[in-house]
Amino acid sequence: MPTDPFFMSPDRPSSCDRGDVVLGWLTKVVATLAILGLMGFDAMSLAVARVQAEDSAQQAVRAASTSYSTTRDLQAAYDAAVARVGASGDTIDPAGFTVTPEGAVTLSLRREAPTLLVEKIPQLREYSVTTRTVTGGPPR
C-alpha cells in the first residue's frame, strides 16, 4: 500500500506546525511594545518635570518675595525659597537669585526628571535636567 506524501501522523507533528512563526511574531510585538512603553514613560516624565519645575519656581518666588518684603533680609528670602522647594528635591542656584530694591525676586530653579532611559544614556542625560528662571514682583 503506497503511503500518502501529504498524510501527517497525529503522533508526529510537522516541523512547521510547532508555532515558531507565531512565537517569533509575538516576541517582536512584545519587544516593540516594551520599547514604546519605556519611551512613553520617559516622555511623560520629562513633560511633567518641566511643568512641575515652573510651578515650583513660581511658589519659591512668592515665598522669597513675601519673606523679603517683611524682613528686608536677602538671606532670609533665599532661605524661604530653598525651604519651599527643598522637599521636592529641586535646587535653587545662589548665583541666579536676585532681589531688586522694590522686592522683585528672580531665581533659577533646577529639577531632574526621573527617567528610565534618558538619564542612563550619556548623550541624552542633559534632557533630564530642567532649569526654569522666574521673576516675581513683591506681594501686594
> What pLDDT is recorded for position 83?
95
Q: Kindly list the domain boundaries of the chain, sorted by start residue.
A: 22-136
Query: Mean pLDDT, consecutive 10-residue segments, the chain of 140 residues?
Result: 60 60 87 95 95 94 92 93 91 93 92 91 92 85
What is the per-residue pLDDT for 138? 75
- Rounded to an integer, what distance in angstroms lies between the CA atom of residue 52 and that of residue 87? 13
pTM, two decimal places: 0.74
In the chain, the amino acid numbered 50 is R
pLDDT of residue 2: 55
Q: What are phi and psi of 36, to 5 degrees?
A: -65, -35
Helix 20-71 to helix 74-86 angle (10° resolution) is 150
**For 53-70, what is the HEC assignment?**
HHHHHHHHHHHHHHHHHH
